[in-house]
Amino acid sequence: MSTLWNKGTSATDIVEQFTIGNDRTLDMRLAKVDVIGSKAHIAMLSKVGLLDKKEEHILQQELDKIISEIDKGDFRIEDGVEDIHSQVELLVTQRVGDIGKKIHSGRSRNDQVLVDIKLYLKSEILAIRDEILELFDEFQSKSDKYSNVLLPGYTHGQIAMPSSFGLWLGAYSETLVDDMSMLVAAYSIANQNPLGSAAGYGSSFPLDREDTTRLLGFHTLHYNSIAAQLSRGKTEKALACAMASFAATLNKFASDCCEYMCGNFAFISFPDELTTGSSIMPHKKNPDVLEIIRGKCNRLQSIPNEISLLTTNMPHGYHRDFQLLKDILFPAIDSMHGTIGMTRYMLENIIVNEHIIKDSKYDYMFTVEEVNKRVLSGMPFRDAYKSVGMEVNAHTFAENISQKYDSVEKLHHTHAGSIGNLCNKEIEAKMMSVLKGFEQK
């Protein structure tokens, strides 16, 4: 095993295999940001006089070649090389000679890992943001489209009051705004430069950390070197919490859909090709996609706890336990992307039953409407409540109501956020306001 820190002794193969684990595979997704971090670092080293301009030019050219190889898919971490950081430095040294050995001056693998993680997570956060915005727009569009289609509302699993498809779908739009606020917070935490903190206690080299902050596009520094190291695990957990928040929203929507497409409800359906059959029952159209979304979201909601358990009870500074954060978070990020995309795909293909309330079993969901109507005509509330309740018990309510409430307009709900006033434009404005948090430079 080739290690940059080797001092003449080597670990046994079994120790190396155990401690490195899956790191080399997971590190491949950090390859490009690792090179970008090195390019900024050597530019700064040249600026402060630790490299001359000719040396910097040679190194920059070679690092650019490696980026090109990564983009083309021609880069790999060779057998016997410990991680991405070792691979890049060893490759540069092999190609340009002893100049390559200067690339690591003034930094440690600790702050190098931190830079890679933060740059990678920033990119993933922005990708999640864009995917969620597409889902948000789809919820808004469907909410507008079905704004006038009534839907039974439930409390305690019992038919309660009139809702609408517009209100139901719009609820997920606004909930995604709250989730997006957590993603902005994760981005803010990731958007801080740890480079120059070295092993956690800085360096005696005259490093220009403000310069690397600018070059790498971070909004600010982790100023305190120990604080930079303390961010390991914190940064990952912040993103995990944001993903868990999105997952809770998508989980609830998937659960709603599983229930609503059940034959006992039949509020919605999906094209046959988006459902699965039974091996024994020819009539079945199972919501397997939605159930897998629900299950994946449950797993995503466990990630913050797993990170917490991994990083608890360690004193400050680097510990090898942190390596396992990649095993936890990286697959979760992949799952988040896939889950968002599949949720949007299902929503795009949802089929709404626009005639649900023609079924007489939903007549009782208009009892509150009738109580309110009688109150507005002058009857005291308690008298109106009692009279309607007696009609329900006598099974005469449906006969006595003065009109059939078969559309949103006939219900006269006008306050903000009601079925007659969805406030979708205001919800969109809220989302646009939250998105401004990503405008940090």
Convert the pLDDT of each residue in 206-223 to its tens digit: 999 999 999 999 999 999
pLDDT at 292 over 80: yes
> Can you give the pLDDT at residue 414?
86
The DSSP code sequence of 331-378 is HHHHHHHHHHHHHHHHHHT-EE-TTGGGSGGGGGGGHHHHHHHHHHTT
> Can you give the pLDDT at residue 398?
76
> Can you give the pLDDT at residue 399?
74
pLDDT at 5 over 70: no
Ramachandran assignment for 220, one of left (phi > 0), alpha (psi -120 to 50 degrees), beta (any other): beta
pLDDT at 47 over 90: yes
The band of 9, judged by pLDDT with boundaries at 50, 70 and 90, is low
Which residue type occupies 106? G
> Can you give the pLDDT at residue 113?
93
Distance of CA 211 to the CA centre of its chain: 31
The DSSP code sequence of 32-96 is HHHHHHHHHHHHHHHHTTSS-HHHHHHHHHHHHHHHHHHHHT---PPTTB-SHHHHHHHHHHHHH
The band of 7, judged by pLDDT with boundaries at 50, 70 and 90, is low
- What's the average model confidence in pLDDT over 415-430? 95
Tokens of 5: 């820190």
Between residues 119 and 13, the one the model is more confident about: 119
> Can you give the pLDDT at residue 411?
81
The band of 140, judged by pLDDT with boundaries at 50, 70 and 90, is very high
pLDDT at 349 over 90: yes
- % of the chain with per-residue pLDDT over 90: 71
pLDDT at 402 over 90: no
pLDDT at 368 over 90: no
Q: What is the pTM of this model?
A: 0.90
Q: Tell me the domain boundaries of the chain.
A: 13-105, 110-202+222-357+433-439
Which residue from 287, 284, 283 is spatially nearest to 295, judged by alpha carbons? Answer: 287
Q: Looking at the domain 110-202+222-357+433-439, which fold is it?
A: Fumarase C; Chain A, domain 2 (1.20.200)
> Can you give the pLDDT at residue 358?
84
pLDDT at 230 over 80: yes
pLDDT at 283 over 80: no
- % of the chain with per-residue pLDDT over 70: 91
- What's the average model confidence in pLDDT over 179-202? 96
pLDDT at 2 over 80: no
* Burial class, 375, CB count within 10 angstroms (exposed 0-12 / middle 13-18 / buried 19+): middle
SS3 386: helix
The mean pLDDT of the chain is 91
The band of 10, judged by pLDDT with boundaries at 50, 70 and 90, is low
* Burial class, 433, CB count within 10 angstroms (exposed 0-12 / middle 13-18 / buried 19+): exposed
> Can you give the pLDDT at residue 396?
82
pLDDT at 441 over 70: no
CB 23 within 8 A of CB 323: yes
pLDDT at 17 over 90: no
Domain 13-105 sits in which CATH superfamily? Fumarase/aspartase (N-terminal domain) (1.10.275.10)
pLDDT at 277 over 80: no
pLDDT at 23 over 90: no
Q: Which residue has the tokens 């950090």?
A: 30
Q: Which residue has the tokens 């609820």?
A: 171
Alpha carbons 109 and 4: distance in angstroms, whole number: 10
pLDDT at 79 over 90: no
> Can you give the pLDDT at residue 317?
83
Tokens of 332: 């979760």
Tokens of 178: 């709250």
> Can you give the pLDDT at residue 282?
63
Parallel, antiparallel, or unpaired: how do β-strands 220-221 and 192-193 relate? parallel
> Can you give the pLDDT at residue 218?
96
> Can you give the pLDDT at residue 21?
66
> Can you give the pLDDT at residue 373?
86
Between residues 38 and 366, the one the model is more confident about: 38
pLDDT at 6 over 60: no
Q: What is the per-residue pLDDT across 233-253, written as a single tens digit (0 to 9) for each?
A: 999 999 999 999 999 999 999
Q: Which residue has the tokens 């739009």?
A: 173
The band of 76, judged by pLDDT with boundaries at 50, 70 and 90, is very high
